[in-house]
Amino acid sequence: MRDIRVATVQFQHAAGDKAYNFGRIRHFVTEAAHARVEMIAFPEMCLTGYWHVRKLSRAAFEALAEPVPDGPSTRDLLDLSREHGMTIGAGLLERAPDGGVYNAYVVAMPDGTWAVHRKLHVFEHPNICAGNRYTVFDTPHGCRVGVLICYDNNIVENARATALLGAEILLAPHQTGGCNSVSPRGMKPIDPAVWARRQEDPAACEAELVGPKGRAWLMRWLPSRAHDNGMFLLFSNGIGPDDDEIRTGNAMVLDPYGDVIAESRALGDDMVVADLDASVLPTSSGRRWLRARRPDLYESLTRPTGQEQETRRVRFGE
């Protein structure tokens, strides 16, 4: 890996309005190009919209999806990537050749190549399909990148597997914060009245977004995904109302020690930029720990316990 300047974005998407959402992507890519950014990460399903899809009929849900790479959104991302010489990651619904619909994250690269990750742990719609592979790839910028979407990052094995495939930078697009977790000490909904008064009382709104309903919950575990595996991590997120939930933003970049090196506290759409110092990777704790692994002991990790459930049941306590 070489040194690289990156950016990560939080923005409030419009449900089902791909034209508007791509306009926001173009806006931030243009800003990032002025800042000489080479790689930028946008949130999960930010092109299609996210939380409203659970209410769609099967026909409407499938109509929102499009093929990758031949669909209009991927073509637009590839054109934008070539125009600015920048690698761009953004989330959408992918329609596979067999008709299955996936929560997917497309990474468009300026040399015309592309990668797509299909979310492994899904719950967004009764008819959504789960991905079945990890996504790690080389970029024209001299770095190796992995992708895990939102809930994928919750499962520690996913981050480790991605690191073992050689990822140096992990793109971690989310739509999180303000969720009504079934865990008593998990996330809880953001008070809509606090968000509505964010202009009059920004301190109260920021306290809500960075507290246990948002950033504080993330900081219990997200830094360990970077630290324990020796990866840089680009966290992107929604911000503001997303159907009946309020996303908490806090777009951030973490280094391989799990330290936050750039972060947004904005109460709206925003982008943060960071310079990744490749020299910290080889001797980071996580990289060193990977070399001390004993795979002969880990058979139990691949053996079902009988307690496994579909993510939807776990997520909603069904």
Q: Check whether 144 has a pLDDT greater than 90.
A: yes
Report the largest interatomic distance among the alpha carbons of the chain, rounded to a whole angstrom: 59
Q: Check whether 317 has a pLDDT greater than 90.
A: no
- Euclidean distance between CA atoms 80 and 62, whole angstroms: 26
Kindly report the number of other CB atoms within 10 A of residue 148's CB atom. 28
pLDDT of residue 64: 98
Write the pLDDT tens digit of every residue in 28-68.
999 999 999 999 999 999 999 999 999 999 999 999 999 99
pLDDT (mean) for 285-304: 96
> Alpha helix locations (H) across 35-133?
58-64, 72-84
If pLDDT is split at 50, 70 and 90, which confidence band does 188 have? Answer: very high
Q: Check whether 170 has a pLDDT greater than 90.
A: yes
Q: Check whether 318 has a pLDDT greater than 90.
A: no
Q: In one letter, which amino acid is 118?
A: R
If pLDDT is split at 50, 70 and 90, which confidence band does 189 have? Answer: very high
- Euclidean distance between CA atoms 116 and 91, whole angstroms: 9
Mean per-residue pLDDT of the chain: 97
Q: Check whether 302 has a pLDDT greater than 90.
A: yes
Strands 270-276 vs 4-10: parallel, antiparallel or unpaired: antiparallel
Name every residue whose Cβ is closer than 8 Å to that of residue 139 and which is 6 or more positions away in sequence.
Answer: 39, 87, 109, 145
pLDDT of residue 47: 98
pLDDT of residue 207: 96
Range of the domain at 61: 4-316
- Euclidean distance between CA atoms 55 and 298, whole angstroms: 41
If pLDDT is split at 50, 70 and 90, which confidence band does 249 have? Answer: very high
Look at the alpha carbons of 40, 41, 47, 49 in this order and tell me if their dihedral is positive or negative. negative
Task: Find tokens 């004993």 and name the residue.
Answer: 294
pLDDT of residue 174: 98
If pLDDT is split at 50, 70 and 90, which confidence band does 307 have? Answer: very high
The whole-model pTM stands at 0.97
If pLDDT is split at 50, 70 and 90, which confidence band does 164 have? Answer: very high
Number of domains in the chain: 1
Q: Domain holding 16: CATH number?
A: 3.60.110.10
pLDDT of residue 168: 98
Q: Check whether 137 has a pLDDT greater than 90.
A: yes
pLDDT (mean) for 17-23: 98
